[in-house]
Structure 1
Amino acid sequence: MKSYESILVAVDIYSDYEPVIARALNIAGTDMKINLIYVVYPQTSIEPYGLFLETDYSDEICEQAKTRLRDIATQHGIEPTNTHVVVGAAADEIHDAAERLKADLIVIGTHGRSGVRLLLGSTANAVMHGVKVDVLAVKV
């Protein structure tokens, strides 16, 4: 069986990400590449009065997220250059990043808060479907 060489760790920087990163670090050992990814959902609002203009706050949110993700990486001994903040649908962006970064394992947290998906959260469930590499869902 081939061992893993590159791990993509999908984290929610505003939730309990520690168990997810800890599990990835345990698997990685010392000579494996780890990338962290945080996906920003596109944030738009519509003015209630006047011209009904759409405003996109994604750039501002991304800058804050990049700073936070780099801090998390540094705290865990992960290269800050191996952090990625992207905007879009979480599962699609994680799939794309795994392919682009040549990851052979995705580690993602799951909380299972949504009533329909009792075992996995909706994002973890979506990531598992249609992905070409192994996925480890860590209960947080």
Structure 2
Amino acid sequence: MASPYRKILVAIDCSDESATVLARAAGVLEGVSGELHLIHVIEPLALAYGADVPMDVTDLQSGLVEQAKQTAHQYAERYHIPDKHIYVELGSIEKTILGKADSLEADLIVVGSHTRSGLALLLGSTARGLVPGSHCDVLAVKVDKKKD
């Protein structure tokens, strides 16, 4: 029998769906001793929109980071994740998540997965993009809204 996961890195996008992703990750640890780590990655605006950003976006980006930190801490409180296990970082989303998983020696990465179109399609590609470069298992939590 495979050993249980002990160190889980949960990648959230700070949307309402982050609660679903965190709940699934916490469920994986039910009945076993382990730790949750929470990461939110903000892609630098210059990276997201090309190097030709026509204005200085430093203040805007700093505001995004501060807002993300507050939101990540709110989610972390629900699952008693200590501050030292919360990471809000600037960088390439996939590379940053994979780098953090490696540095933590995580057993599992948990990430939300969308199957919609448009912006959600881009976000869903993160889950697919993590698998080839990951040195641990990746759990993609389906977070699509249920249609009535």
TM-score by length of 1: 0.84
1:72 aligns with 2:80: no
Q: Which runs of 5+ in 1 are unaligned?
A: 48-53
> For structure 1, which segment, 54-63 or 129-138, has the greater mean C-alpha deviation from structure 2 after superposition?
54-63
Cross-structure match for 1:82: 85
Residue in structure 1 matching 2:138, options 128, 135, 138: 135
Closer, same or farther in 2 for the Cα pair 1:130/1:114, shift >3 Å?
A: farther
User: What's the secondary structure of 2:15's corresponding residue?
Assistant: coil
Cross-structure match for 2:62: 59
Cross-structure match for 2:21: 20
CA–CA distance in structure 1, aligned partners of residues 78 and 87 of structure 2: 16
* RMSD of aligned alpha carbons: 2.1
User: What's the secondary structure of 1:46's corresponding residue?
Assistant: coil
Greater strand content: 1
Number of aligned residue pairs = 132
User: What's the secondary structure of 2:127's corresponding residue?
Assistant: helix
CA–CA distance in structure 2, aligned partners of residues 55 and 21 of structure 1: 31
TM-score by length of 2: 0.80
1:13 touches 1:69 (CA, 8 Å); kept in 2?
Answer: yes
CA–CA distance in structure 1, aligned partners of residues 99 and 16 of structure 2: 23
1:46 aligns with 2:50: no
CA–CA distance in structure 2, aligned partners of residues 137 and 95 of structure 1: 14
Greater helix content: 2
After the TM superposition, list the runs of 4 or more consecutive aligned residues in structure 1 that deviate by more than 6 angstroms: none
User: What's the secondary structure of 1:94's corresponding residue?
Assistant: helix
Cross-structure match for 1:126: 129
Residue in structure 2 matching 1:98, options 97, 101, 105: 101
| Identical counterparts, % of pairs | 37
Q: Which runs of 5+ in 2 are unaligned?
A: 47-52, 144-148
